[in-house]
Structure 1
């Protein structure tokens, strides 16, 4: 009888654990994974920003059009700086165990993650917007 009771308790434990693991798999990416996915999406665009800055820099002068190039160039440079600042700040707030989700986040770190999620989404808009404006300006001058 004692063996049956132990077997029953172990079975319930295994089933409960298995159900929890299955639930986690169905939940989709964690908030940390979503934040990192946005970073991973826009990080390769740093090369595009660098290329566009180089192209715009050669066109900056004192004319009205040259001033537009300068504004677009500074916009790109600010977006690049925002990415570097975001990564540095993120790295000071979270260690590798936090990032790899090997441990549960403290209440403070969860608040930080909420903040970082908003920041990285704004960063994505800043980067994509600065690239789109610079490319539109450069394409506009190629058409003329």
Structure 2
């Protein structure tokens, strides 16, 4: 039986190329996950600031009057402050659990992990944007 080197070379090249392509896709996916994090991370300080302002406004309303209308506004302000805190915490929970090294994973496992992380960081982004939008509306509303 004679071994033909050319078909083996072609097979090796095809296998190498397919693994490299999957690895490149994972690198791109990881960069996309990190980019989303980098996009919303600067808003973390704003979340804390808005949370404090919402709580101060709620305290002020509680001291002014005890009407049902003001009670409803207080509850809404406190709920918005809580959503700011939850969004803030969500970012740091995600950051603590995110793994950036994948030595013991196959390329397929890495892809699945990164796709899962993409969904999680998208949720963090959505929570942050939602909390900021809600707090902005409440803080800029006429008292």
What is aligned with 1:124?
125
Task: Note if 1:94 corresponds to 2:88.
Answer: no
CA RMSD for the aligned pairs? Answer: 2.6
Structure showing greater relative contact order (alpha-carbon pairs closer than 8 Å, 6 or more residues apart): 2
How many residues matched? 112
Residue 120 of structure 1, CA deviation: 0.8
Structure 1, unpaired ranges of 5+: 1-16
Q: In structure 2, the residue corresponding to 1:67 is in which secondary structure? A: helix
What is aligned with 1:38?
36
Residue 94 of structure 1, CA deviation: 2.4
Q: Following the alignment from structure 1 to structure 2, what is the Cα–Cα distance between the partners of residues 67 and 32? A: 40
Q: How does 1:1-80 map to 2 (within 5 A)?
A: 30-61=28-59, 62=62, 63-80=71-88
Q: Following the alignment from structure 2 to structure 1, what is the Cα–Cα distance between the partners of residues 58 and 91? A: 24
Residue 60 of structure 1, CA deviation: 2.1
Q: How does 1:101-140 map to 2 (within 5 A)?
A: 106=106, 107-140=108-141
Q: In structure 1, the residue corresponding to 2:58 is in which secondary structure? A: coil
Structure 2, unpaired ranges of 5+: 1-16, 63-70
Residue 122 of structure 1, CA deviation: 1.4
Structure 1 stretches of 4+ with a deviation exceeding 6 A read none
Q: Is the 8 A contact 1:94 1:109 kept in 2?
A: no
Q: Following the alignment from structure 1 to structure 2, what is the Cα–Cα distance between the partners of residues 68 and 120? A: 26
Q: Following the alignment from structure 2 to structure 1, what is the Cα–Cα distance between the partners of residues 111 and 40? A: 23
